[in-house]
Structure 1
Amino acid sequence: MTETEPTAATWYEATRIPRPDQARLGFDLDIDVCVIGGGLAGLTVAREVARRGWSVAILEGGRIAEAASGRNTGFVLPGFSESIDNMVERIGVDHTKQLWALSEQGVDYVRRTIADNDLPGVDPVAGWLHVDQTDNVKAVRAQVERLRWLGADVEMWPTERVRAEVGSARYFNAVHFRNAFHIHPLNYALGLAGLAAKAGVRIFEETPALSIDPAGVRKRIVTPNGRVRASHVVFAGNVQLGNLMPTLAATLLPVTTYVMVTEPLGDKLDAVIKYRGAISDTDRADNHYRIVGGDRLMVSGRVRVWQADARRFGTALSADMARKFPELGRVAVADIWSGTLGRTIHRMPQIGQMADGVWVASGFGGHGLNTTAMAGELIARGLVENDDTWRLFAPYELVWAGGRIGATVAQGLYWWRSAAEGVERTLSRLRERRRLAKEARRAAAAAAGPVVPPERLAAVTLAAAPVVAEPVLAETPVGEPPAGQGERRRNRGKRRKGKAGATETGSA
């Protein structure tokens, strides 16, 4: 098993397309737009700005997409990290529909970019199945209705179909998203970087922005070996922004997830998991997986607000899958790594203009493949075309994440919710076992044949019972005692008289 550090090689690195070397900035540069951050958000913003004719450069402190953009599970899904119900409660029905439509546009952007440019090694696979681990069919049906109300192309899968496609007895009903898909995220990012360069974007790797002066018409950014002057600056970073933009960094809660890839599993994987799209479930401890490399399983989960030994989580993820798929056994882990993302308190991305000429695209919270694409287009249109669609995200402003205390509280809430969900999952399985046992008893009774009612039984001739003569009582005249009773009374009278005579003789 290979353990990787947050910036070290991953399975994606081992299977990526050739990575071009980008130069460091070693001179002063004057441009229209400076994008800080070479992840998916920064690459999309830069590409779309350049396609509209403006000059733009990317400053990346490390290498392109070496952080969360190139280390995630590769799910391209509509929606956001925040729930639909919470969005409706906060911003209303119509506003929620508008934001959902934008999230769908982000999915379409990724799909279109891959298809139109025949990006190599991205390997999109259609479909996303979100499985419920409880037997609450009403909740799943209500979720499907809400999603259709938003315009999503979804269908409900009953338990029987889910288990036929994803062979786990722990799974019940599911929501199937037909337009979602999964990809190799690092190859997509590298392909996107190539498209940005073709559009005229200048990409500088290993060029961290050390400081920024956002005042004035021209913003000034200092790097180790050169300075940049730009009319607009876009912060497309994450928790790595650190001291460069502390106000923004303080709004992000660093959340670390762990991703493992198994050794080849051969035919037994196909026998257990037939579905080839993205799969997630309602288990907070282990909720995303997909088949990669033909017969390997990629699994992510085990959320933490701090970095920990990745090897420990590889063992835990393997055990989780063994519980869900006992036919696979304890799968051998070929690679394990972690990735840290930035999550806001309101669980929505931060997109828009912070100040005159200062823009932000950040806080995608584990739902970034569609929302980074969406943010890139929104900011490019806002910069070049004065389009104000980005203002739809204004209700989700910058909110302090609580620092260390906030992280501790968030981890505690995560554990508490995991425990509560675990109880409900256990109860669901118990209810199913009772139902199956009851059905088995009924089946056994049916196999034994019907019970014949007494009135339908054949007549049986019984032997006649012996006749016993009844005693005959002699009639006694009225006023006379029954026979024998008078004789007994006379005898008792004679005995009393004899005793009385004896007494008198003795007294004399």
Structure 2
Amino acid sequence: MVRSEMTSKAAQTESDEPIWLAELPRSTARRDAAPPRVDICVIGGGIAGVATAFHARRAGLSVLLLEKNRIASRASGRNDGQILLGLGEHLNRLVSQFGEEESRRLWEFLERNSEETKVAIRTLGISCELKEEGGLRLSISESEQRELVESARLMEKEGIPHSLWTREELGRKAEWAKGFHGGLFVPGEAIFAPAAFVRGLAEAFEKEGGRIREQEEVLAIEGEAGNYLLKTASDLSLEASMIVHASSALAPQLDRSGFLDRVVFPFRGQVLLTGVLDSKLSARIPCWAMSSHFCYEYFRKHGDRLTLGGMRWSVKGEETGTMDDSRVNPEITRNLWAWLQEHIPEAASAGIERVWTGIMAGTPDGLPLIGPIPGQQGEFLCCAFNGYGMGFGFLAGKLCCELMTEGRSELPSAARFAPRRFT
């Protein structure tokens, strides 16, 4: 890529289409016939909404999923496609925040999500470029390396598979990575094409008899548990016994209780895609889920290119509070590019092919909201994954389904995700 093209990308303010959406076959919007009444109406067609709808339909319930845009068109199609364990955080930090016992249950939930996601991909025949080669956490300082050492000690205690690498070992196993002090390899992590997975799961849901209406914006919810009425922008009126809010940062707009306005905040992530790497360099970089700087920067290989995201911490306001994924921040683009030049310098000659953003939803404790809205019997949440939707999503949908149908769940950390923790 010539210098003028690089300069243009670094100054770009409009978001490109994410590679995950650009590579999908073009299709017309799903507009399944909407039955007059369903057991469950799911609002939001990302990983959480589609997974909840899928599990609920398999449980024998009538389910309608409504999506304002297209399936996986927002956060689920705008991340970098990593299935992580431990929130991407080093385990010592999880233990510091939640304690050893709760951290163990949280890790178990994420491990189970990873395994059940992979099983679903295989059994449902979803084509989404799944690579199960593990993940690598890289340290950018001696202090972070000490935290990786402590995390490895805790993993050893809990029997979690891992491999701690010194700077010298990293130099032998990943010689293309420069300027790091060591790493922690986690074999249970994986990468895939996230939008392809979510749309494949949506197709499986439809084959089970579920209904999907894309480009169907919900404007208002009326009524109460057992007898909800939803009104949409296309003048559709639908009745449902239960409702699931799974529209991520948009969920507060339909929450009549005001609860979500108090506990959910939007923030914007940014990802770039390099051009085609030199073939010899591409062959040397494994298909790992990778991150550095406590997962503030994250990257992976996609075909013969690299995706690299993060750096929102490097700008004023950290991109918190924005709901606009049609724009990118040129300062973040430049900072991501500087990171690439420093840490994978051989990739710099490939230039930047695309830059995009995605809006995520966060909570004060960094954990999702899965369960009934406090004081709103019959309305459930499955949202606010703090940027780790692919690490939670498939099993989160199962948990939400169990809470709706049985009122309880034996899944690990189920109580920790309950929205009532903020009341």
Measure the CA separation in 1 of the matches of 2:261 and 2:105: 27
Task: Give percent identity, aligned residues only.
Answer: 24
Measure the CA separation in 2 of the matches of 1:64 and 1:191: 10
1:234 counterpart residue number: 244
2:315 counterpart residue number: none
Structure 2 residue matching 1:16: 3-state secondary structure = coil
Q: Specify which of 171, 177, 181 is matched with residue 190 of structure 2.
A: 181
Structure 2 residue matching 1:388: 3-state secondary structure = coil
Instruction: State how 1:193-342 maps to structure 2 within 5 Å.
Output: 193-224=202-233, 225-245=235-255, 246-270=258-282, 273-282=284-293, 287-293=297-303, 295-303=304-312, 304-305=319-320, 306=322, 309-329=328-348, 331-342=350-361
Q: Specify which of 351, 365, 373 is matched with residue 394 of structure 2.
A: 373
CA contact (8 A) 1:81 1:347 kept: no
Give the number of equivalent residue pairs. Answer: 395
Q: How far has the Cα of 1:374 moved from its partner?
A: 1.8
Q: Specify which of 153, 163, 171 is matched with residue 180 of structure 2.
A: 171
Q: Which amino acid aligns with 2:191?
A: H
1:53-91 deviation line (CA, Å, top 9, x unaligned): 110010111111100011101000122367655654665
* RMSD over equivalenced CA pairs, Å: 2.6
Q: Which amino acid aligns with 1:375?
A: A
- Structure 1 residue runs of 5 or longer lacking an equivalent are 401-508
TM-score, length-normalised on structure 1?
0.72
Measure the CA separation in 2 of the matches of 1:249 and 1:344: 11
- Structure 2 residue runs of 5 or longer lacking an equivalent are 313-318
1:101 aligns with 2:108: yes
Q: Relative to 1, partners in 2 of residues 1:65 and 1:319: Cα closer, same or farther, differing over 3 Å?
A: same
CA contact (8 A) 1:109 1:373 kept: yes
CA contact (8 A) 1:156 1:175 kept: yes
TM-score, length-normalised on structure 2?
0.85
CA contact (8 A) 1:290 1:298 kept: yes
1:191 aligns with 2:200: yes
Measure the CA separation in 2 of the matches of 1:129 and 1:269: 18
1:425 counterpart residue number: none
1:16 counterpart residue number: 24
2:67 counterpart residue number: 60
1:157 counterpart residue number: 165
Q: Which amino acid aligns with 1:124?
A: K
Bigger CA radius of gyration = 1
CA contact (8 A) 1:342 1:365 kept: yes
Q: How far has the Cα of 1:320 moved from its partner?
A: 1.4
Greater shift, 102-111 or 113-122, is seen at: 113-122
2:122 counterpart residue number: 115
Q: Relative to 1, partners in 2 of residues 1:144 and 1:17: Cα closer, same or farther, differing over 3 Å?
A: farther
Q: Which amino acid aligns with 1:243?
A: Q
Q: Specify which of 385, 393, 403 is matched with residue 416 of structure 2.
A: 393
Measure the CA separation in 2 of the matches of 1:150 and 1:249: 37
1:501 counterpart residue number: none
Q: How far has the Cα of 1:380 moved from its partner?
A: 1.3
Higher relative contact order (CA 8 A, sep 6+): 2
1:129 aligns with 2:136: yes
Greater shift, 29-38 or 125-134, is seen at: 125-134
2:316 counterpart residue number: none
Measure the CA separation in 2 of the matches of 1:69 and 1:394: 20
Measure the CA separation in 2 of the matches of 1:339 and 1:324: 24
